Amino acid sequence: CMYVCMCVCVCVRTCITVIEEPDTLFQKLTVLVKGHDKAVLDSYEFFASMTAKELGLTLAKVSEPPKNIERLTLLKSVHIFKKHRVQYEMRTHFRCIEISKVTGSTAQVYLEYIQRNLPEGMAMEVTKTAIEKVPEHIRTPLWGDQSQAEKTSQ
Amino acid sequence: MIWRSVDLRRTALRTLLQLQLNMAASTFCPVLLPLSRINCKLNGIYTLISLNKTAAYSTGLSVKKTGAKTGLPQRGGKELRRQIKQVLQPRTERMAVDQDWTAVYPTAASFKADAVPLPVRMGYPVKKGVPPSKKGNLELLKIPNFLHLTPNAIKKQCEALKPFCTEWPAALDSDEKCEKHFPIQVQKKDYVFAGPSLRHPDARIVTLTVKLSSLNLDDHARKKMIKLSGERYNKDTDTLTITADSCPLKQQNHDYAMYMLTVLYHESWKIEAWEKEKTRADMEEYVWEDSPSQKNILETLLRIRPLSEQQEEGEVREELLGREEVQEYKDSVTKLKNEGETEGNMQQYKEAVKKLLSI
């Protein structure tokens, strides 16, 4: 006899490790999705916004940038018949989802989940705006003493 | 001889079918692959049985095991055939209203008309007709479906993902506070798409934005920094934008942008020897002191009230410059030169001149 064995996953909570390194902070996370079918984009927008709500992220803006139509006019026949042409067009629809004030870990989780469930035939562009502190070497000028000396001599 | 071998094969088939139905009756059957192929060695014969996809789903029926040697009795055969017939019916007939849909579509899968209990119609309708039904509909197969991402499924998966998320620090609730504590903004882009290569050439570009007011700069350093940055500085928003795209990796471009900022900062604090030769033409904004306008005003005022012999020129100059009307005139001229000619500026200049000349 043959039996199908199912592998049971070990409890997820034991896999989480907290590192000492400070988390990156993103002031804005813009997800621009492109596709040829508007209905699929609508469904994906619903999915992405619902995920953001469930994970507790603030949805700043959900917009629909205007579509882009690329048109081609080609010859209908393989040889001669210049007056008879055929026209094609490629429509690209867009959806923009803006999320404000996310941490690096949350952004990673959200983006990975979103990207794994991206349907076939759609592309995504993610713009991350991270905020950082002024680094140590820009706090005080290296040549500060020199400039002070110059000023006093003048 | 031939008869016996055929009998054995038939028996083997029946036993295997019963085993499959038994397995199907258990709860973890939906996880089985749609096409299950069981390679089985039974009674010395290698039998490769390819079972139908519908047979792999849970039946919820219990099948009695009958004796194999003497052949199955008639009643058992009828029962078995009836059960097989039920299994071959679409799964939608046996679905409960409150079933767990995440078990039917746990992952992204193509549309299965026998597994989706919705009366969906898709396609262009025939003349005086309706769009074609879901059975054997290619349009429904072609379009990506979101049956695996129902609100319930999303909620369940988000619950599982929540432990990996971190909270935004509560102290940084407004943009101003973020700007105050974290003045540098770094913008990076990622791309997800299908193509011959997974790499996008624009993914390496890094843009660094910082407001000069948040850096430790004195007057000279600020002016020098603005001159050094040139086109990268925006006067209206007081932001310096550094775009790095010369390195192949994002991290390298980020490091380069930070290096550029560091170099700009430290260079702007340096005072070179040739900076002493800065002329009036190099000045970024109009300065009234030692300008022709000041000289003209002083001359005019001295002419109105000529110098008496006791007073010295230097003292008179100081006294004249300290007067309120002269200060007002100075403000109006500086405003005109720096901000350009506007209604308000011209009015102010007119008033100042009238006061000075006591018209």
Buried b (16+ CB within 10 A) or exposed e, A92-109: ebbbbbbbbbbbbbbbbb
Instruction: Tell whether B197 lies on the interface with A, counting CB pairs under 8 A.
Output: no
Instruction: Tell whether B187 lies on the interface with A, counting CB pairs under 8 A.
Output: yes
Q: How far apart are CA B149 and CA B139, in angstroms?
A: 20
- Mean pLDDT (chain B) is 80
Please report the DSSP string for B232-269 in residue order.
GEETTTTEEEEEE-SSSSHHHHHHHHHHHHHHHHHHHH
Give B90 to chain A, closest Cα distance, Å.
Answer: 24
Q: How far apart are CA B296 and CA A84, in angstroms?
A: 79
Chain B stretch 37-56, residues whose beta carbon is closer than 8 A to a beta carbon of chain A:
38, 40
pLDDT at B108 > cutoff 90:
yes
For the segment B182-208, the average pLDDT, to the nearest whole number, is: 94
CA dist B338 → B239, B286, B291, B334, B346 (Å): 20, 6, 14, 6, 13
Instruction: Tell whether A116 lies on the interface with B, counting CB pairs under 8 A.
Output: no
pLDDT at B93 > cutoff 80:
yes
| Tokens standing for residue A97 | 């989802």
B135: DSSP letter: T
Determine which of A40, A106, A115, A139 to mutate to test the interface with B (most B C-beta atoms within 10 Å). Answer: A106
Q: For residue A122, what are the β-bridge partners?
A: A35
Q: How far apart are CA B106 and CA B110, in angstroms?
A: 12
Give B295 to chain A, closest Cα distance, Å.
Answer: 25
In three state form, how does the secondary structure of A30-65 look? EEEEEECCHHHHHHHHHHHHHHHHHCCCEEEEEECC
β-pairing, A25-35 with A58-63? Answer: unpaired
pLDDT of residue B44: 42
Q: Which residues of A touch B223 (CB under 8 A)?
A: none
* Cβ <8 Å between B19 and A147: no
| Tokens standing for residue A52 | 């953001």
ipTM: 0.83
Closest partner CB to A105 (pick from B157, B164, B194): B164
* Cβ <8 Å between A105 and B269: no
**Share of residues in chain A with pLDDT > 90 (%):** 70
* Of the listed ranges A43-47, A125-129, B40-44, B296-300, the one predicted with least confidence: B40-44
CA neighbours closer than 13 Å in the CB half-sphere of residue A102: 26
| Tokens standing for residue A132 | 């950082």
Q: Taking a C-beta distance cutoff of 8 angstroms, is the pair A52, A102 a contact?
A: no
Instruction: Tell whether A131 lies on the interface with B, counting CB pairs under 8 A.
Output: yes
pLDDT of residue B89: 85
Chain B stretch 330-359, residues whose beta carbon is closer than 8 A to a beta carbon of chain A:
none
Q: How far apart are CA B342 and CA B51, in angstroms?
A: 87
Give A136 to chain B, closest Cα distance, Å.
Answer: 10
CA neighbours closer than 13 Å in the CB half-sphere of residue A72: 7
pLDDT of residue A147: 52
Residue whose token pair is 């054997």: B136
Q: Which residues contact B17 (CB under 8 A, 6 or more apart)?
A: B55, B80, B84
Instruction: Tell whether B34 lies on the interface with A, counting CB pairs under 8 A.
Output: no
Give B195 to chain A, closest Cα distance, Å.
Answer: 10
Bin B279: left if φ > 0, else alpha if -120 < ψ < 50, else beta.
beta
- Regarding pTM above 0.90, the answer is no
**More confident site: B288 or A106:** A106
For the segment A115-143, the average pLDDT, to the nearest whole number, is: 90
Tally of CB atoms within 10 A around B151: 11
Domains of chain A: 39-133 (3.30.70.600)
